[in-house]
Structures are given as C-alpha cells and as structure tokens.
Amino acid sequence: MSNPTATCETSLGTFTVELFVDSMPITAGNFVDLAKEGFYDGLHFHRVIEGFMIQFGCPHSKDPESPSQGTGQSPKGSIPDEHLDDAKFTNEPGTLSMANAGPNSGSSQFFINTANNAYLDWFSSGPSKHPVFGKVTDGMDVVSKIESTPTQPGDRPTTPVQMIKVTVHE
C-alpha cells in the first residue's frame, strides 16, 4: 500500500505532498485526519522566512490580521513526538516538518523547509527537534513563490497567502 498524497490549493497555486503514514503514522496521520475534516481549508501561511521555511496550520490564521497567529493548535490538542530510529528523515528542502514549542507539543502547525535545515532533525545535536512527516512531490515552484512573498515584522506575508483547500488522496 502506498502513502497518501494531498493536493494543497493555495491563493498562489497548487502543490502536492506525499504523507509518510507508513513510517510516521502519528504525525502524518494527524495531518491526514485534520485535512479530511477541513481544518486547514481557509487558513493562511502565518510565518514565511526566505531561505528557511514557510509555516502553516494555526487556526487563528483564518483571520490573516489576527495577532494570535502562530499560537493555536488543533481542537484535538497535542500529539506525542515521533522519534523513530527507522524514520530518520532530514529537514531538507521540500520536506514537511512538525512545528512545536518543545517536547510533545506538536499539533496542527507544520512547516515546509525551503533550505537544508538538518540542525532541526530530531536526531541531530541541534537545539530544536522537528520530525519530518512528508515531502512536496509536485509544485515546489509554488512553495518558492510563497517563500518569496514580501513579509512584515513577525514574518507574516504583507499580502496574505491562503490555503484554499487541502484534499487527501488515499
């Protein structure tokens, strides 16, 4: 059985991701469940840092002007960190990685790496631990377009970038 994919339709174009449910069942499964429930539809990318990553998934970002963007999580709460020896995926360009505020605090927010950020790998000696649970398989040009969006202080896009719809294909 192959991993599911998801089509991510944004206001700047569409990209497709593979979700590693075979090797990251908790983290990738959490994304799949939230996407199927429509949780991500209508949210905005709330943190964009060129040469690093684009971040998404905060429920407060439905309003792109909300000062609470980046502080919310899914109604299901946090999920445990998934640090599996047979799933040592590195934070390389195009990978989806769980955002968190410390151990076992991942929820709905994730980021897409736009640079090699191996120091964020859970198995690295870096200060932060972010498990990779998917990768962009088509539409990296759209991810690059989002990454190059002008931002205001706080790394928010000056012109909001909306996730119109996430559709999971199993």
Please identify which of the residues 12, 39, 46, 55 carries the catalytic annotation. Answer: 55
Please identify which of the residues 3, 52, 84, 123 carries the catalytic annotation. Answer: 52
Question: Is 84 one of the annotated active-site residues of the chain?
Answer: no
Please identify which of the residues 20, 47, 96, 117 carries the catalytic annotation. Answer: 47
Question: Is 111 one of the annotated active-site residues of the chain?
Answer: yes
Question: Is 43 one of the annotated active-site residues of the chain?
Answer: no
Please identify which of the residues 44, 46, 130, 156 carries the catalytic annotation. Answer: 130
Which residues lie below 8 Å from residue 65, measured CB to CB, with a gap of 6+?
A: none
Under 8 Å between Cβ of 122 and 81: yes
Please identify which of the residues 39, 45, 89, 111 carries the catalytic annotation. Answer: 111
Question: Is 110 one of the annotated active-site residues of the chain?
Answer: no
Question: Is 130 one of the annotated active-site residues of the chain?
Answer: yes
> Under the phi-then-psi rule, with left for phi > 0, alpha for psi from -120 to 50, and beta for the rest, what region is 149?
beta
> How far is 132 from 121, CA to CA, in rounded Å?
8
Please identify which of the residues 30, 73, 100, 117 carries the catalytic annotation. Answer: 100
Q: How many residues does the chain have?
A: 170
Please identify which of the residues 30, 31, 120, 156 carries the catalytic annotation. Answer: 120
Question: Is 39 one of the annotated active-site residues of the chain?
Answer: no
- The catalytic residues are 47, 52, 55, 100, 111, 120, 130
